[in-house]
Chain A
C-alpha cells in the first residue's frame, strides 16, 4: 500500500530504495513462515515416527534404558508376528463387515430421506425435518441404556446387529447435510425430467445421485470413520472375543501390556495396520476429506 503511495509522488531514487526495503522483510516473513510450519509439522509427526520406530524394534530393544529413538535392527517380522498375537485377521474381517453394512445403511437411508424432504412437496415435511434435526442434539448416552435393553430382549446382544442396524434407519446429521445439498440443486432439473415422465425414484437414482457425488462421497467417508472408530458400542454389545472389532481388540492389546509383557513393538506394528485403511481412504479422497465437510458446512449456512 505505501509502496504505491511513495511511487506516486517521490523521486526516482526513493522509488528504487523502497521496493528493496519492503522486499527483504517479505522474504524474511516467508522464510520464517516456512520455518514455523516445518517446526509445527515435525512436532505433529514425531509421535507417528516414534510409533513406526517402535514397530520396527526387536523385542530386546523394548525395555532398554534409556530408550533409543531408532531400532537397533529393523525387524519387519513384527508386522507378521504382532497381528498374529491378537488374531488381527479376524478382527479386521469383523470390522470390515460392520463398517460396510454401516456405511451402506446410513448413506442410503439418509440420501433418500434428504431427497424427499428437500425436493418433494408433501404435507408434514417440515415437521419431519425438525424432528430429524432435533435428534442430532440428543446425546447417544441418553438413549444407550434403553436401546441396549431393546437389543437384549431381541436376543441380539453379542452380535453385530446392534452395531449396524440403527444405521439403516437414517442418520440425522447426514439427513441435514443431504437436505441442504439437495435444496441447492436447481428445480428445473426435476421439472424437465418429469416432463419425460420420470418419477421421483428415477430422478433420484439417475439424476440426483450423479449430481450429488461430493455429498455422498463425504457421507461415505464420515460414516466409514464413525464405524471404523466406534468403540463405545462394541464395548457395550460384544462379549466374545471372536466377535470383537479392531477398536476393542487394539484397546485390549494395549491394556494387557506392561513391563512383564512388553510386546509394545508388536502392538505398534498392529496399530499401524489398523491405521492403514483410513489412511488409504484419506489419500484416495483427500479432496473430500479436507474440502468436503468445510464446503458442506458453508453451503448449509
Chain B
C-alpha cells in the first residue's frame, strides 16, 4: 500500500519534471560548492539534536559507566579506583550473582523460544483470507496494546492462589492448582506465561513476513503435490528465516533486559527463583544501599553477554537464514 502511494507520487513528480522551461539543478553547476556547503550546513542543523543526544546520553554515559565499573562508588562520596575488585566480588563472593545468572538464563531459554513458536503458530493460523480473520487478529493483538504495568498487575492477581483466576480455572477443570508466583518451581514459568499472552506482537511481524512470500511458490508446490506440512517446512519456514532471525535477536536482547515483571510481580523471589540480572542491577544501583560501582560493573557484564549472544546468533545465522540474492 505504501509502495503504491509512493509510486503514484513519483509519477506525478516525473510529469512536473518534464516541464522544459526550467533549468535542472545540478551540483556540477558553477555555484555547486556553495550549494554543497549549504546542504552540509542544513544537514548538520537537522541532525544536531541527535548528535548532542548521542554524545550526552550515549557516549558520555558509556565511558563514565565503564570507568566506574572499576571503582568503589556509593554516589555520595567520590568514586575510588579499585581495579577488578567489583568483578572479583561478583564472580567469587556475591551470593546472588550466580543464582541471578541462572535465573536470567532460564528466563531467556523459556521466553524467547515460546514467544517465537507461539507467535509463528498464530501467524500461520491467521494467514488466511477467511471471513472474520481480522477480528481474530485484533483479539490476539489486543494484549500487546495494553500498558505493561496494567497487564503485570492484573496477572499478579490472576496468580493469587486463593482468589486468582488461574486456580479457579484449574480447579473447575479438576486439575491440580499451584501457588504460582509463591512457588519456587512455578514462579518463572508463570512470568513467562504473561509474556506469551502478549505474543500478538511477534505474530504481527511474522504475518508481514508470511504475506511477503510469493504465492506462485505455493502454487508450484501444490501442482507438484506437496501437502500443507511439506509446504510449511520446505517453503514457508525457509522463506521467513530473515524475519525469524530478526525476531530471535530482538527477543534475546529484550529478554536479557526484562525488569518490569520482576519489580511488579515477584521482587526476585521466592528466594532467588526469579532474581533476573537486570533486577539485580537495579537493586544494587537504586536500592537501600546504593553501590553504583558494582551496578555499573554488572551493567557492563550484561552488555557484554548481550553482545556475545547476539554475535553468536548472527554468526551462525548464515547456516539457516535463506537469502534471496544468493
Footprint of B on A, CB under 8 Å? 1-2, 30, 33-34, 36-37, 40-41, 44-48, 50-51, 54, 62-63, 65-67, 69, 109-110, 112-113, 115-117, 120-123, 125, 128, 131-132, 135, 137-150, 166, 168-170, 175, 184-186, 188-189, 191-192, 194-195, 199-201, 204, 211, 214, 225, 228-229, 231-232, 235-236, 246-247, 250-251, 253-255, 264, 267-268, 271, 274-275, 278-279, 282, 286, 289-291, 293-295, 297-299, 301
Contacts and interface: CB of A to CB of B under 8 A. Distances in A.
A254 B264 contact: yes
A121 B27 CA distance: 10
A186 B50 contact: no
B6 A33 contact: no
Given A135-B58, A200-B39, A247-B147, 5 more contacts: A115-B46, A195-B24, A231-B263, A278-B146, A299-B2
Given A138-B62, A194-B25, A232-B259, A36 B125 contact: yes
A295 B1 contact: yes
Contact of B50 (A45, A109, A141, A236): A109
B296 A145 contact: yes
Contact of A294 (B68, B205, B260): B205
Given A50-B165, A141-B257, A112 B47 contact: yes
B208 A185 contact: no
Contact of B62 (A143, A175, A282): A143
Contacts of A275: 146-147, 150
Nearest to A68: B168
B47 to A, nearest CB: 5
B130 interface: yes
Contact of B306 (A139, A271, A291): A139
Nearest to B60: A146
A145 B285 contact: yes
A169 B51 CA distance: 8
Interface residues of B, number: 108
B90 interface: no
Interface in B131-158: 132, 136-143, 145-150, 152-158
B49 A112 contact: yes
B293 to A, nearest CB: 9
5 contacts: A40-B122, A145-B68, A264-B157, A274-B150, A278-B145
Interface stretch (B93-101, B102-110, B180-188, B297-305): B297-305
Contacts of B24: 191, 195
* Chain B interface mostly: helix
Most buried by A among B145, B148, B212, B306: B145
Contacts of B259: 231-232
B295 interface: yes
A195 to B, nearest CB: 5
A255 to B, nearest CB: 8
A113 B47 contact: yes
Nearest to A129: B47
B239 interface: no
Nearest to B138: A286
Given A62-B163, A185-B6, A116 B146 contact: no
Contacts of B278: 141
Contact of A236 (B56, B243, B286): B286
A185 B12 CA distance: 13
B53 A141 contact: no
A142 B222 contact: no
B17 A250 contact: no
Contact of B155 (A47, A135, A201, A247): A47
B61 interface: yes
B156 A254 contact: yes
Contacts of A147: 57, 61
Contacts of A289: 141, 145
